[in-house]
Structure 1
């Protein structure tokens, strides 16, 4: 965390639970949290192993020990830290990018890692600064945040989580010199790229030895300090607080005071939030009563000093914060199903009467739609057909088998169509069609290639129409919903067609979890 003049910590309590006075010994010995009760979203976050996070901290300490005692901007220990993280992420399937910048005559680096699933136009970005100051190894500041978000990132493939939104993780350089890395990243984004980032989560110092439990005050509910974050920041704050409430820990608000890497994001209107366990500020008696620890001492007495080593980390705080990060990422990355009573649905786990080429006019020579257990295909480093479904083992897919190459069973030669069984819609009330989908292709695709979903009765409602472009587009599950109330009282069919309709190109598509809801 970047240096600044010490400030008071706002005492307003934002989430109050049953009061229990913890001694320092009891707080240090607190057990790992129990698994949460099922949330309102489809998949619950895993419990992140503390031992795994501490393994990464040990690695950061070793890197500092062999590189002059620090991991600072422009020093070899920083680049070694980047390379360690990147090797971990590459090994499990992340797409990683190292972005370089120059500050104070030295080259700095940001590391970006993206999980190849979820809507690329709806990004949940989770970040932490990776650099230390020159005076020490920076294990709490900010090896703790860096290690925590790394282990959360690794838990995505390990748990089999399929997010609805795109997950991106970032480790920023030169934060200690004025948020240089995150500022460079935000300034490098186009307007459209900024708009795709729906939330930014920042974790800077999450294992302070005399820990507090602070959550960035997204809605300025404490009424003091820097004011609220951009619209949407309150949702992040409330999500984090929901986790802490579930484990019986009281949190307090901390302001967006420009001290960490959320600064460049909120400056351009991107909602932000995160947690913080305290730096050089002094813990009050009231805070010690809430959280344990020692009143009258700094939250981190080794802040920006050589003693910020692996011995300078509170395991309980680190464990709780890492699980809070996972909970928040999982919650924000999932799209709640549309409200209302289900009129009709299909997850494709059993055959329900979908018909291929219902009008006898299809022209595709391979890759016809089928209900199948899909195999993964890829070409030129781009995943085309997804081997994972949204739920269960089956979906609608354009040729489920992998074959000897990615082009063995993709759509070729024209259009393939599949039609649902007849669905009788109620005559009153609002009606919504929702489903998950993907369209994937390589750069030889054109706008004549497409995926289209329509609901056909006496009239037709187009629920989705996506065309190809001359670029590699990896398969990634996305969700959409459409108002079909204009078809109320009719018997309708859902018609899905996909085309490789111009130059021969690698085109794949999938559809899963189709639902019509009333209300």
Structure 2
């Protein structure tokens, strides 16, 4: 983890020079990648519907840590940027990933007169326009082997990636794992990666999970505060960060371990991602901070002592790991990957609409809409942008449900203006038994002239009305980016229901766009 003395994040690194490097590794047979079949229903946030994550063996994670320690010992005692121990660490991780069937790339950059490396590993399949990244920095400081900081995060995500391969996971989202270089020099590797993506490639990344120091000896259980619910520090992450936080908190709640929020203070590799509006989250067990008496009561350990007494020191070796914290956090990583990557448990489709044909959605069903432009319609949307993407093409196929499909002469030509626009589905007859789940893709985009009065809302209307999604605006640019959500609608079993969608530009004039696609109701 980056030391507080260093600047929080860099959005430009003029000194970096790009090349792509294929590093020498021992040749090994590649495992056959899993077959990619028909599209599967997404279920972000629906932990009760996704395939159960496997238990990650803490012994296997510690075996990787032992190898990283051996690499450091053989290379001057560290695995730091520009030192041979770092390159050997990259080769070690890459060898395991190549053998497991990942597609790996090593991206090189220059900082401080030395060459650094990012290792990127893509798992075959999943929606290329909905990429979930899982990252950890692989470098240490020059003082020591960096086994907790950050061999722990690197080894835990490596073993999670290998579990993806062993189980043949076929996720709805595309999975990409990353091991960042030169984090200890100021988030150099991750910043280089993000800054050198094209706008289109950046827009494809819809979430970044960051794991930096997950085995601290005097551990705390911190989760990045995606919704700023603790009300302090750097504020919330980009839209979607709260979902990541919630999923991770759900895991720890399920094993009876309390968590506390930790701020997005820019000290780790989520920094360049949230700076570009990409949702982020992850876990952290503490660095040089001191555990309070209240925290010791909450989690055990020693009050008045540092979470990691060997932070950035020579004693950060394999003896500097809390096995229980490492085990819990490794399992939390797998849980987050399996849940957020939306590998759904089997379910029987009840009703679906990808909007490729007209199925009878009714605009302005109550004749009370006030919007003067940007009314909901089923259409082929034209992509628009104004500094950030404001309207996207359909998530799948050619059509979606969108506020003003035409691109128009400018980004603001067909956006929602003047109030509320609504649209309602045809009647949907739900079965009377089983668990019924509604899922759909959506986005709300706006510029920094928006406010909390602007929103996208989705409700299910039957004998009662249930709001299943509300996204409100803020006075900041929010790029259009497809997300997927789901909700249990079993309370409506046996009823005829309709889905009611509305969006609003309800305050001062602002650029607001919204869309819905791939609506699905399943029974399980």
| Structure 2 length-normalised TM | 0.60
2:203 matches 1:204: no
Question: Contact conserved, 1:179 with 1:260, CA < 8 A, in 2?
Answer: yes
d(CA) in 2 for partners of 1:220, 1:480: 20
Q: Which range moves more in the overlay, 331-340 or 134-143?
A: 331-340
Task: Give the secondary structure class of the aligned counterpart of 2:339.
Answer: helix
Q: In structure 2, what is the equivalent of residue 178 of structure 1?
A: 186
Q: In structure 2, what is the equivalent of residue 3 of structure 1?
A: 3
Deviation at 1:157, TM superposition (A): 1.5
Deviation at 1:517, TM superposition (A): 6.2
User: What do the CA deviations read for 1:109-158 (whole angstroms, capped 9, x no partner)?
Assistant: 00000000211111100000000000000000000000000000000111
d(CA) in 2 for partners of 1:480, 1:314: 35
d(CA) in 1 for partners of 2:485, 2:147: 42
Q: In structure 2, what is the equivalent of residue 115 of structure 1?
A: 123
Q: How does 1:478-493 map to 2 (within 5 A)?
A: none
Structure 1 residue runs of 5 or longer lacking an equivalent are 7-37, 345-426, 436-478, 482-513
Q: How does 1:73-472 map to 2 (within 5 A)?
A: 73-334=81-342, 342=350, 428-429=427-428
Deviation at 1:434, TM superposition (A): 10
Cα 1:91–1:517 change in 2 (3 A) is: closer
Task: Give the secondary structure class of the aligned counterpart of 1:310.
Answer: coil
Deviation at 1:100, TM superposition (A): 0.1
User: What do the CA deviations read for 1:443-464 (whole angstroms, capped 9, x no partner)?
Assistant: xxxxxxxxxxxxxxxxxxxxxx
Deviation at 1:339, TM superposition (A): 10
d(CA) in 1 for partners of 2:427, 2:233: 50
Deviation at 1:42, TM superposition (A): 2.9
Residue 76 of structure 2, aligned match among 68, 71, 83: 68
Q: Which range moves more in the overlay, 235-244 or 152-161?
A: 152-161
User: What do the CA deviations read for 1:380-432 (whole angstroms, capped 9, x no partner)?
Assistant: xxxxxxxxxxxxxxxxxxxxxxxxxxxxxxxxxxxxxxxxxxxxxxx943899
d(CA) in 2 for partners of 1:165, 1:343: 22
Task: Give the secondary structure class of the aligned counterpart of 2:153.
Answer: helix
Deviation at 1:516, TM superposition (A): 7.6
Deviation at 1:41, TM superposition (A): 2.6
d(CA) in 2 for partners of 1:175, 1:80: 17
d(CA) in 2 for partners of 1:219, 1:57: 33
Residue 60 of structure 2, aligned match among 35, 49, 52: 52
Task: Give the secondary structure class of the aligned counterpart of 2:108.
Answer: strand
d(CA) in 2 for partners of 1:90, 1:120: 20
Q: Which range moves more in the overlay, 157-166 or 317-326?
A: 157-166
User: What do the CA deviations read for 1:250-288 (whole angstroms, capped 9, x no partner)?
Assistant: 001100000000000000000000000000000001101
Task: Give the secondary structure class of the aligned counterpart of 2:309.
Answer: coil
User: What do the CA deviations read for 1:198-238 (whole angstroms, capped 9, x no partner)?
Assistant: 10000000000000000000000011110000000000000
Q: In structure 1, what is the equivalent of residue 359 of structure 2?
A: none
Cα 1:515–1:122 change in 2 (3 A) is: closer
Task: Give the secondary structure class of the aligned counterpart of 2:2.
Answer: coil
Q: In structure 2, what is the equivalent of residue 424 of structure 1?
A: none
Question: Contact conserved, 2:351 with 2:428, CA < 8 A, in 1?
Answer: no
Aligned pair count reads 332
d(CA) in 1 for partners of 2:439, 2:262: 39
Q: In structure 2, what is the equivalent of residue 358 of structure 1?
A: none
Cα 1:296–1:515 change in 2 (3 A) is: closer
Cα 1:231–1:136 change in 2 (3 A) is: same
Cα 1:39–1:228 change in 2 (3 A) is: closer
Task: Give the secondary structure class of the aligned counterpart of 2:319.
Answer: helix
| Structure 1 length-normalised TM | 0.60
Task: Give the secondary structure class of the aligned counterpart of 2:156.
Answer: helix
Cα 1:119–1:480 change in 2 (3 A) is: farther
CA RMSD of aligned residues (A): 3.0
Question: Contact conserved, 2:238 with 2:280, CA < 8 A, in 1?
Answer: yes
Task: Give the secondary structure class of the aligned counterpart of 2:203.
Answer: helix
Question: Contact conserved, 1:338 with 1:434, CA < 8 A, in 2?
Answer: no
Question: Contact conserved, 2:51 with 2:343, CA < 8 A, in 1?
Answer: no
Deviation at 1:243, TM superposition (A): 0.0
